[in-house]
Amino acid sequence: MTGFGSTEISKSDIVNAINTLGISGADVCIHSSMRSFGAPMKNGLKSITDAFMERFCTIMVPTFSDIYEVRPTKQFMPEQNGAGDYSFFLEQSYAEVKPFTVESKEISAGDMGAFPKFVLESEGSVRGNNPLNSFTALGTNAKRLVGRQSFKDVYAPLKQLCADDGYVLLMGVGLDKATIIHYAEQVAGRVPFVRWAYDENRKVVPVSAGSCSEGFRNLDGILDIYARKITVGSSRWVCYKAQEFVDICSRAIRNMPNITHCDDKECDRCNDAIKGGPQLPADFWTKGL
């Protein structure tokens, strides 16, 4: 494992890491912790985006926004939906916000972190059309990566990442932050959970969303031999080829369904995901969208 940087992280440190990992010119989905670097970033987070743009990459980050979630309505409350008896969702209060649009800059920054917020607010960024679990991309292929994301097809950007022979980069975080494992669950046959948001007419409609990810670290042992690793400052970077990653994870999930389960045996989301996810009637999406 190679290390770059010392008391300050510079753009050249990031460029060197990109070159060493062999991901120049590629589409890269980044999950990150800025605290993991253990040192200040020279010129701030722009050093990271500038480095990836200099190496002709298109980057993509999760830009989830819980603020757009609304109270469910009966026709969109299927069985086996990781929601128990739905009391949690029916009884909580919700923010009064305008319906989501791809121009929105709202983000659950406390969960997503500083870098996704920075990318979302960067000039030229393109946001996918899912109010709760959007992805945002920056670079030449940004529109192609996220342009097909929808309320129903939440993982279209990750499917495109695989088609583009792209990469997943964990920048100081573990597999519990790797959203692409949710896509692998879908490839393995699990149906994404349903949550709710307003459409442009303030009508409550269903939205596809992810499951619990606390158990995803259980896949570490299976994936480790496929990982490319490097350290930048104190940040441990782990990189995978996206399609290979999905193939390995989806196969493991089919063969060992419980491998994704978190430590909570009563977790509704894990238990229902392992059963296959929500049971949706054939007209479920057409009556809502």
With a CB cutoff of 8 Å and minimum separation 6, the contacts of 126 are: 102, 136, 137, 138, 142, 143, 145, 146, 147
With a CB cutoff of 8 Å and minimum separation 6, the contacts of 25 are: 55, 56, 57
End-to-end Cα distance, the chain: 49
Banded model confidence at residue 289, pLDDT cuts 50, 70, 90 = low
Banded model confidence at residue 206, pLDDT cuts 50, 70, 90 = very high
Q: Rounded to the nearest 10 degrees, what angle do helices 11-21 and 46-54 cross at?
A: 40
Question: How crowded is the C-beta side of 242, counted as CA atoms within 13 Å?
Answer: 25
pLDDT in tens, 59-83: 999 999 999 999 999 999 999 999 9
Rounded percentage of the chain residues whose pLDDT exceeds 70? 97
Whether the predicted pLDDT of 191 surpasses 70: yes
pLDDT reported for residue 173: 98
Banded model confidence at residue 122, pLDDT cuts 50, 70, 90 = very high
pLDDT reported for residue 288: 54
**CA–CA distance, 16 with 11 (Å, rounded to integer):** 9
**CA–CA distance, 58 with 40 (Å, rounded to integer):** 24
pLDDT in tens, 216-231: 999 999 999 999 999 9
Whether the predicted pLDDT of 6 surpasses 70: no
Q: Please count the other Cβ atoms lying within 10 Å of the Cβ belonging to residue 268.
A: 18
pLDDT reported for residue 286: 84
Reduced to 3 states (helix: H, G, I; strand: E, B; else coil), residue 273 is: helix
Beta bridge partners of 130: none
Return the domain boundaries, the chain: 2-274
Q: Looking up tokens 């993991």, which residue turns up? A: 36
The H helix count followed by the E strand count for the chain is 11, 10
The gap from C-alpha 16 to its chain's centroid, in whole angstroms, comes to 25
**CA–CA distance, 247 with 254 (Å, rounded to integer):** 11
Average pLDDT, the chain: 95
**CA–CA distance, 140 with 124 (Å, rounded to integer):** 10
| Ramachandran assignment for 203, one of left (phi > 0), alpha (psi -120 to 50 degrees), beta (any other) | beta
CA distances from residue 280 to 77, 192, 200 in whole angstroms, order as listed: 9, 10, 24
pTM of the predicted structure, to 2 decimals: 0.94
pLDDT reported for residue 109: 87
**CA–CA distance, 70 with 222 (Å, rounded to integer):** 38
**CA–CA distance, 170 with 178 (Å, rounded to integer):** 7
Q: What share of the chain is helix, strand, coil (3-state, %, to 5)?
A: 35, 20, 45
Dihedral over alpha carbons 28, 31, 36, 40 (to 10 degrees)? 60
Q: Looking up tokens 């298109």, which residue turns up? A: 58
